[in-house]
Amino acid sequence: MTRGPNALFPAFHAWRRAVFFPASSLLLLAMAGCSGPTAGSSGSPSGSQPAGGSPQIVSFSASPATVAAGQSTTLTWQTANATSISISPNPQQGDENTPLAASGSLAGVAVPSTTTFTLTATGSGGASVTATATVTVPVSLSFTASPITINAGQSTTLSWSVSSGTASSLAISNGICSSCALPKGTAATPPLSSTTTYTATATDSSGTQVSQAVTITVNAAQAGALKHVFFLAQENRSFDSYFGMLGAYRSSRLQQAGIADSQTVNGFDPNATLTNHNTGAKVKPFHEATVCTENLTPAWDESHHDVALTGGDAAWASTSSFNSSMFAMNNFLDTTGSVTQQYDPNGTRAMGYYDQDDLPYYYDLATFFATSDTWYSPVLANTVPNRFYLEAGTSFGHAYPDNSGHPQYAAKTIFRAMNEANVSWLYYYHDGVFLANFQDWSDPKIQSNVFPDSDLLARLQGTCSGAPCDPDKALPQVIFIDASISLDEHPDENVQNGAAYVQSIVSALMNSDAWQDSAFILTYDEGGGLYDHVPPVQVPAPDSYAPGQCPDPNNGSAGYCATGKLGGNFNLTGFRVPVIVISPFAKPHYVSHTVRDYTAILAFIERMFSVPSLTARDAYWLQQGDLTDFFDFSAPNLLRAPDGVTPWAQYLHGQTTSGVCDQTKEAGPTF
């Protein structure tokens, strides 16, 4: 708490009342012929002070002359032939505003910023003289970098804050900014190849400068540390529906390997109760009895209703700033009737979950490699808008999918950006190419990099165009795998078949010589209308396009750029979704609690391979944290299984496909 001098120095003020003489007392002393120094003076002999004539200021000073903001100084003065004394700005406070002695001092004068005090001494004839004393409050500068140690080719975030004093400008060396934001701000460095020192210099209004340096240590590049980044987004699974039971599994599985589990996983409360407000039925989380269910809808209106914003659906029209306490996360059953449901009239399947018996391969991957319980889809909507973010960092005004025949979208994709940055990449598909929605698809330099996934499996097995090849040399820097329509783990598909498809790719990678320097990122494009108990998170909008403000001219497609009945904007993530980062350089059995949406994958690619950001959203994760914390590049600690010998493809539990796929069994127990 900041307090004025009266509160800070009560003892001093009592002393000042006793020592300082009012002007009338001084006059009586002079008439009595008293000699010697005036009370409160510096103690100069009386002979040095003229007995009459014009007023003079013998001395006026401040000690200390430099203080931090809010600290105090002592003003001291000595005058002659003065009948009145004043100081501006007034150093006295409140009831202490008393006449000043011709010579004396004031202690405890608070100085909030650099201040020049002016002493005016006035004589009996009205003549006056002045003198000044300046107390400087220097600018205080905080300048940091996070992280302070990086690997070659990575960048870091510089942060600065200026307090105290009055800074007129701030500059940071090495081209970061010559006129940086005040009083605080952040900026990302370019990718660094060697240890680099940055210096921030703040200049105050008087031209005085203060500087602070920070040194970023860049670890030497490791040959082959990470050459290939794979990423694949499967379909429509919330974190709770897949990994709500992961925490309990990890401890026992790691114990089998002689590893103590120190991580936590934010899974659902088994006693959480949801009510279908249309039917009154209640249900708790239950183990889903079938590996395929009827569909659910995660569309814009349904997803915005599911999270149960304070104030109800109408509040979306007027709410623009969010925090976790504003979402009850309990309306998921209400919206299941938006799609056909023959076997589950209460929508209980939204609360169904799977565990290690259903998805043994995924549970093992998420146990031994790196995962996160704070990983989100980018937008509170269904597949198509979210996949726009996956490939372009924005849905450029789209809240819903467009009907067939829509225009090809002009938004720049990560694939065009990689071409412009001379980054090698390949795009693989099983039975559909989502990239065909974009104008980039018409570019021969892009379309020539798109192949069926059979080519990927052949390369990983050492065959390129029918001839032997080295997978580590035949694979590019970035490999994107488009989700299969028939093997995508969507609620109306068999989740075990989809998981087995992913296993076939990951196992082929692990069995190849490309494994030693690769990372495979598996995630899900949105929550699918399935329950998750953790609210969405506020994030920056990717661009200036609000829902329904699509920049591409409509070519006559019906329903182009449609919007829902509920409000909302693009400054909120979607639901939590699963993610697994699989790599020899992944932190062993790591659970990240750093909030991100999966455009952080784009940010990771941009950081690793020096690709400019696509939108404000992926740029945000470059500053707030991409996927770097999932990795430890000091050594490939997960090259093999925990025994150090067994290949992972032999050690991990295989994915079973023998589960019951019967939608008539999908409904959970109600009460």
Domain limit, last residue, from 219, 239, 262: 219
* 3-class DSSP string for 142-192: EEEEECCEEECCCCCEEEEEEECCCEEEEEECCCCECCCCCCEEEEECCCC
Domain-located, residue 48: no
Span 398-413, average pLDDT: 96
Domain-located, residue 46: no
- 240: which 2 tokens? 């709770």
Backbone angles phi, psi at 575, to 5 degrees: -85, 165
Whole-angstrom distance, CA of residue 406 vs CA of residue 552: 10
Strand partners, 162: 141
pLDDT on residue 94: 61
pLDDT on residue 104: 93
Structurally, the chain folds into a number of domains equal to 3
pLDDT category, 70, cuts 50, 70, 90? confident
**pLDDT exceeds cutoff 90 at 98:** no
Whole-angstrom distance, CA of residue 405 vs CA of residue 557: 6
**CA proximity to 392, closest of 379, 374, 376, 406:** 379
Residues 525 and 557 placed together within one structural domain of the fold: yes
Domain-located, residue 23: yes
Whole-angstrom distance, CA of residue 310 vs CA of residue 328: 8
Whole-angstrom distance, CA of residue 319 vs CA of residue 310: 10
Mean residue pLDDT across the chain = 89
At 560, the amino acid letter reads Y
Residues 114 and 246 placed together within one structural domain of the fold: no
CB under 8 Å to 286, separation ≥6 — which residues?
A: 348, 351, 352, 353, 668, 669
Residues 127 and 249 placed together within one structural domain of the fold: no
**CA proximity to 514, closest of 588, 453, 462, 455:** 462
Beta strands in 404-558 (DSSP E): 425-429, 450-452, 463-464, 467-468, 478-481, 518-524
601: DSSP letter: H
56 three-class SS:
strand
Domain-located, residue 54: no
89: DSSP letter: S
Residues 521 and 630 placed together within one structural domain of the fold: yes
648-668 confidence digits (pLDDT tens): 999 999 999 999 999 999 999
- 341: which 2 tokens? 């449901």
Whole-angstrom distance, CA of residue 498 vs CA of residue 489: 5
Domain-located, residue 558: yes
Q: Are 180 and 160 in contact (CB under 8 A)?
A: yes
- The more confidently predicted of residues 281 and 155 is 281
Residues 507 and 444 placed together within one structural domain of the fold: yes
Span 235-253, average pLDDT: 96
Residues 237 and 208 placed together within one structural domain of the fold: no
Residues 144 and 129 placed together within one structural domain of the fold: no
* CATH code where residue 159 lies: 2.60.40.10
Q: Which of 67-76, 265-274, 512-521 has the lowest mean pLDDT?
A: 67-76
Domain-located, residue 102: yes
Q: Which structural domain range is residue 74 located in? A: 5-35+59-135
Domain-located, residue 615: yes
Dihedral of alpha carbons 339, 341, 347, 351, sign: negative
139-184 confidence digits (pLDDT tens): 788 899 988 887 766 788 899 998 776 788 999 999 999 999 998 9
pLDDT on residue 52: 61
Q: How far is CA 36 from CA 41, 44, 292, 382, 406, in A?
A: 10, 8, 103, 90, 98
Residues 191 and 312 placed together within one structural domain of the fold: no
Domain-located, residue 401: yes
100: DSSP letter: P
Domain limit, last residue, from 219, 242, 268: 219
What percent of the chain has a predicted confidence (pLDDT) above 70? 90
Predicted TM-score (pTM) of the model is: 0.70
Residues 185 and 310 placed together within one structural domain of the fold: no
> Which residue blocks in 330-486 are alpha helix, DSSP H?
360-368, 383-392, 414-420, 444-447, 453-460, 471-474
Q: Which of 206-215, 322-331, 411-420, 591-600 has the lowest mean pLDDT?
A: 206-215
* CATH code where residue 573 lies: 3.40.720.10
Domain limit, last residue, from 219, 252, 287: 219
Residues 275 and 305 placed together within one structural domain of the fold: yes
Beta strands in 299-457 (DSSP E): 352-353, 370-372, 375-376, 425-429, 450-452
Residues 68 and 171 placed together within one structural domain of the fold: no
Residues 521 and 476 placed together within one structural domain of the fold: yes
pLDDT category, 220, cuts 50, 70, 90? low
* CATH code where residue 119 lies: 2.60.40
Count CA atoms within 13 Å of residue 42 on its CB side: 16
Whole-angstrom distance, CA of residue 211 vs CA of residue 202: 6
Q: Are 645 and 599 in contact (CB under 8 A)?
A: no
Whole-angstrom distance, CA of residue 531 vs CA of residue 236: 11
CB under 8 Å to 441, separation ≥6 — which residues?
A: 408, 433, 435, 447
